[in-house]
């Protein structure tokens, strides 16, 4: 199972994601986000826009490398992969 971690902001907004790394069964980044949505409804829309594309302020790293496919989220995830989801915070 893939090990998923987050920057501190996401578990603050979605307490279901708190408590350390989560393990999810997935073969792509899109599937990781689907599994997270099942655990914490609303998180997928926070990470992705209405077209399912990764939002500009969000970055996803698989095994320490930033993903390439920000549109379909097809980057591969294996059972022993670490996935890190981070978002930049901005304001005026």
Check residue 92 and give its pLDDT.
53
Q: Which long-range contacts (CB under 8 A, 24 or more apart) does 30-36 make?
A: 30/72, 30/73, 30/74, 31/77, 32/2, 32/4, 32/77, 32/83, 33/73, 36/4
Q: What is the per-residue pLDDT across 74-85, written as a single tens digit (0 to 9) for each?
A: 999 998 999 999
pLDDT tens digits along 41-82: 999 999 999 999 999 999 999 999 999 999 999 999 998 999
Q: What is the pTM of this model?
A: 0.92
Question: What pLDDT sits at residue 28?
Answer: 97
If you average pLDDT over every residue of the chain, what do you get? Answer: 93
């Amino acid at each position: 199972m893939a090990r998923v971690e987050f920057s501190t902001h996401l578990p603050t907004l979605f307490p279901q994601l708190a408590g350390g790394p989560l393990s999810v069964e997935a073969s792509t980044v899109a599937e990781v986000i689907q599994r997270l949505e099942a655990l914490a409804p609303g998180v997928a829309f926070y990470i992705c826009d209405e077209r399912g594309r990764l939002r500009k302020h969000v970055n996803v790293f698989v095994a320490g490398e930033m993903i390439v496919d920000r549109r379909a989220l097809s980057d591969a995830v294996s059972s022993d992969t670490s996935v890190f989801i981070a978002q930049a915070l901005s304001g005026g």
